[in-house]
Structures are given as C-alpha cells and as structure tokens.
Amino acid sequence: MEERSCILPGGWADAQGEIHNRVVFSALTGREEALLADTQGNGPAKVTAVLSRCLKQIGSIRPISESIARELLIVDRDFLLLKLHEATFGSRVQATLPCPWPDCGEKVDIDFTTEDIPVSPSQEKGPRFTVVLSPEAAFVKNGKAHREVTFRLPTGADQERLSSRLAENEAQALSELLARCIRSIGPHEMTSAEQIEALSPLARMEIEREMLRIAPKIELNMEVNCPECARLFTVPFDLQDFFFGEMRTSRDLLYREVHYLAYHYHWSEKEIMEMPKDQRRNYIEVLADEIERLNNAV
C-alpha cells in the first residue's frame, strides 16, 4: 500500500524526551472506515485505534502501538485525521449551511480544500513546560508562595478519559484535564486534584493561557462570505464531527462496494475490507468497463 509522510505540528516525545515529528502513514482501509462509522463507543479511543493501524512510523520508531497513538498531542491527532482524510478521500470539502444572520438564513455553499487549513507548528517542544505565575496568582501553601508551575500539553489519553465527562459536566472535566496536565507547583511534584482545586481562578487562567500559547494550532474557524446578503460570518469546523459524520454517510456505500466486489470477484469480506477506497474504486471501474464491453458484444 502506498505510504505517505507528513510533519507533526507538535511531535511525540519518547522516554528520553527526544521529539519525533516525521510520520509515515497509509490511507484508511475499509476496516478503519467501518470502525469510525460505528456510532457506538468512545470516539477518541476509536481515533487511537485507527491512528495506530494507519501510522507506520514516527521518527525512527515503528511499529506504532496504541499507547504511542494515545500519547500524541490532541492537535497532532487532529492534524493526522486531516492527513488520513486527504489520503483516503482527497482534500476537497463541500458542505451547505444556513447564513446565521437572522434576516437572511439563505443556504451558503462551502467549498475548500483541507490543504488550505492553516497549521502552526509549536515553537517550543517540551514535552514539559514551565510558566511563572504573576505574584497575585501565586500558590500559597504552609505560608510559602510558589509561582513556578510545570505542565505538559493535553493528549489523546486525556481525550479518551474525559470525552464522556465533558458532555456531563464541562467545568469539572476541564478541572480534571488541568490536574492531569500540571506536573508540579513549586517544589510539589505530581500535584493532587485538591491542590489544583486550591489554585485561584487567576492562576488557572495564566496556566491555560500559556498552554494555548505554546500548543501547536490548526485554524478551524473559517470566514465565509454570504453571497445573498454579502455579510461575513465565522464557521467553526469541527474536525472530529466532520470526520465521523463523513464515515457514517459513506458507510452504506462501503458495504455496497464490499458486496459488489465479493459478488463479482469472490474475494472474502476480510480481503476487501483491507483495501483502501482507491483500490476498491479501481476494481469497481474495471468491472464496470468489463460489463459494458460484454453488453456491447451481445
């Protein structure tokens, strides 16, 4: 199967803290399409499974286990979903949505290529970062004020753990995320949830702001011009929703293709599901030509 490569905007840190960012990967096969299309189960865990199956190498490390895929930064995982989407379905995205201006509401067509989505690599690679809190935000314990906080950036493991809780209680899930990412406050290593609770809102804000500044970014807010009323509006492009949504709409087609190929070639479902979309399409085209040729010969 054809292998492609890309450079992660963040990068994966090995146990020695060395950053690896060149990824070799291949397109989704029918198996991964079906896995992603399934509405049951934990979305981020499915992304982990799919990444570990499609990524062949990161830096000098291969194969890519689920635990490595899980340790990837959230932004890197999103970036890889975009790349897998490009490799499997191409880079063009077309959608229709209503203009949000109340006096307009006309349908607006959106058409862009995922290659045009701006990606900013992180300037600092970590994996551990330090922020010095302002004196007002200092963490006070036993009469001592501590201002130095170290943290890591959120990963797939955090996503897997918190995705269901995010829907139930967002504030609590975000506190837990912060507790998981903060590694030390002053001399106190591996801070407990109680210590995180004791951080002032100002301290939390300063830490979160620094996390955002340091993290790599994918610009997913798109400015759209309504052709009807000529006003601009911003559309947030939710990558995972888009990715999963697309798999669900193409699921029926996937099973039709498998049926068609199995029927004509007598290949097993397993063999067909291990093909990427391109390959299935090529065989279907050859079949269509062949059937047309036979029909014309009659």
Question: Cα–Cα–Cα angle for 46, 49, 54, nearest 5°?
Answer: 120
Of 226, 258, 272, 275, which one interacts with Zn ion (CB under 5 A)?
Answer: 226
Cis amide bond preceding 121, omega within 30:
no
Contact mark string toward Zn ion, 80..119, x via CB under 5 A: -------------------x-x--x---------------
- Nearest CA to 118 among 58, 75, 59? 75
Residue whose CB is less far from Zn ion, 102 or 187: 102
Looking at the Cβ atoms of 39 and 221, the one nearer to Zn ion is 221
Q: In this chain, which of 228, 238, 269, 290 binds Zn ion, going by CB under 5 A? A: 228
224 contributes a contact to Zn ion by CB under 5 A: no
Count, residues near Zn ion per rule CB under 5 A: 6
| Strands in 26-173 per DSSP E | 55-58, 92-98, 107-113, 119-120, 129-132, 139-141, 144-146, 148-151
Q: Which of 10, 5, 6, 26 is nearest to 155 (CA)?
A: 10
Name the minimum Å distance from CB 220 to Zn ion.
21
User: CA dihedral in degrees (252, 258, 264, 268; nearest 10)?
Assistant: -150
SS3 percent helix, strand, coil of the chain, rounded to 5, is 50, 25, 25
The residue (of 99 and 131) whose beta carbon lies closer to Zn ion is 99
- In the set 119, 214, 224, 229, which binds Zn ion (CB under 5 A)? 229
**Closer residue to Zn ion in complex, CB, 153/226:** 226
Among positions 41-70, residues that touch Zn ion (CB under 5 A) are none
Residues that bind Zn ion (CB under 5 A): 99, 101, 104, 226, 228-229
